[in-house]
């Protein structure tokens, strides 16, 4: 078979969730040593060295263009040019007019739910609008649709009125480099490079409202005012002006003094940060999967996460659960876990076991079987 994979953004330097999913899927498919021919269609090639493709994989840079133009104009023409047997679009959207069968990874349908599309950055707003217009036009053309959790499977099936066989759950994983780092030199290098505090609570968030930065800042403020904030909160690459505005909105502009910023951290360097965190805080309002949860479990850090959407499904009993809509609940969870070393150890042990359920190899094998079924 001649299989095309849309992987538009996997080579941009600052990669995020769906970029990493596509990249890890391609790596895992290459390790299965199939005889199929794969054509990987990309836009940017800034970080092309991050992927060493197998011999039967070709990387095809298409003419650089904004996302919708690249996807709606250049991609379908490439599918026809390379005489594909199918095209797998990996990031929710796909060409409306496509001459080959479509396999679609629909990570979530958050943008089709009753949310405020005027929240977030201009880029996030545009992305939500584009997905809101595109997804209803292409889901009926996709056979099959893959999604990343049973929770999201149910949401998609109910929203579009699909039968139970139409949407397939293919759990995400975490890269093989995510593991507990014990090498003292590696830990020291990360600590010096990012000026890490001796103890810190690790929070992976961004300006997307679902990441609940507001709730986290409110929880920090509650803890600070009660003299119960045990250590700094560590944040990665997040806009300072955005945080300043939020801190002013919650009435505690001084709260930013208790946050340590690292700037952007490449995915390959994250395990050394996870491994030095005392707690991992992930109280999102809505997730379709939550890859950082698996990363944290594999790195042996105790987790606080939400009682909503996919998160209880992913962590099972390997995390302390809170109500993300209640800053007090988040604050209480931090205190409870921080003060209970036995609970921390228990969650870490359970996390190592739970993480074994999620791998890119499993994802790739399921995905490949669906490609071959299409034939």
User: What integer pLDDT is reported at residue 375 of this predicted model?
Assistant: 54
- Residue 291's CB is within 10 A of a number of other CB atoms, namely 22
CB 362 within 8 A of CB 169: no
Segments in the chain below pLDDT 50:
117-118
**Helical ranges in the chain per DSSP H:** 17-31, 67-69, 75-81, 122-138, 150-160, 184-193, 213-225, 240-249, 270-274, 291-299, 311-315, 327-338, 341-355, 360-374
Tokens 């139409």 found at: 166
Which is nearest to 312 in space by CA: 334, 283, 341? 283
- Cα angle: 279, vertex 204, 104; to 5 degrees: 125
Distance (Å, whole) CA 104 – CA 90: 6
User: What integer pLDDT is reported at residue 284 of this predicted model?
Assistant: 96
CB 360 within 8 A of CB 175: yes
CB 213 within 8 A of CB 233: no
Structure tokens at 152: 């999201």
pLDDT in tens, 10-19: 998 888 889 9
Confidence (pTM): 0.93
Domains defined for the chain, CATH in brackets: 2-173+359-374 (3.40.50.2000), 184-355 (3.40.50.2000)
Task: Determine whether 95 is exposed, middle or buried from the number of CB atoms within 10 Å of its CB (0-12, 13-18, 19+).
Answer: buried
User: What integer pLDDT is reported at residue 117 of this predicted model?
Assistant: 42
- Cα angle: 312, vertex 275, 47; to 5 degrees: 90
Q: CB under 8 Å to 342, separation ≥6 — which residues?
A: none
């Amino acid at each position: 078979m001649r299989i095309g994979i849309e992987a538009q953004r996997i080579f941009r330097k600052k990669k995020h969730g769906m970029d990493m999913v596509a990249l890890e899927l391609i790596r895992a498919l290459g390790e299965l040593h199939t005889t199929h021919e794969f054509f990987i269609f990309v836009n940017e090639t800034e970080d092309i060295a991050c992927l060493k493709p197998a011999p039967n994989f070709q990387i095809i840079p298409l003419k650089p263009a904004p996302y919708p133009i690249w996807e709606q104009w250049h991609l379908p023409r490439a599918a026809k040019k390379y005489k594909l047997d199918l095209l797998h679009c990996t990031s929710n959207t796909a060409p409306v007019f496509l001459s080959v069968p479509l396999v679609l990874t629909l990570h979530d349908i958050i943008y089709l739910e009753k949310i405020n599309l005027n929240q977030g950055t201009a880029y996030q707003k545009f992305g939500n609008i584009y997905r809101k217009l595109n997804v209803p036009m292409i889901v009926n053309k996709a056979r099959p649709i893959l999604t990343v959790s049973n929770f999201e499977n149910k949401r998609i099936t109910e929203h579009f009125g699909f039968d139970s066989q139409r949407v397939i759950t293919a759990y995400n994983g975490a890269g093989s480099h995510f593991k507990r780092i014990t090498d003292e030199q590696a830990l020291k290098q990360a600590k010096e490079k990012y000026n890490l505090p001796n103890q810190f609570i690790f929070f992976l968030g961004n300006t997307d409202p679902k990441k609940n930065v507001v709730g986290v800042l409110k929880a920090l403020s509650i803890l600070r005012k009660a003299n119960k904030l045990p250590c700094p909160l560590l944040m990665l690459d997040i806009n300072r002006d955005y945080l300043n505005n939020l801190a002013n909105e919650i009435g505690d502009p001084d709260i930013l003094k208790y946050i340590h910023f690292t700037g952007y951290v490449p995915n390959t360097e994250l395990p050394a940060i996870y491994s030095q965190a005392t707690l991992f805080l992930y109280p999102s309002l809505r997730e379709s999967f939550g890859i950082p949860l698996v990363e944290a479990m594999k790195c042996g850090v105790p987790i606080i996460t939400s009682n909503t959407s996919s998160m209880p499904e992913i962590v099972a009993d390997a995390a302390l659960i809170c109500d993300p809509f209640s800053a007090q609940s988040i604050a209480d969870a931090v205190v409870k876990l921080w003060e209970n070393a036995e609970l921390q150890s228990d969650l870490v042990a359970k996390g190592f076991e739970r993480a074994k359920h999620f791998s890119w190899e499993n994802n790739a094998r399921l995905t490949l079987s669906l490609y071959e079924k299409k034939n």
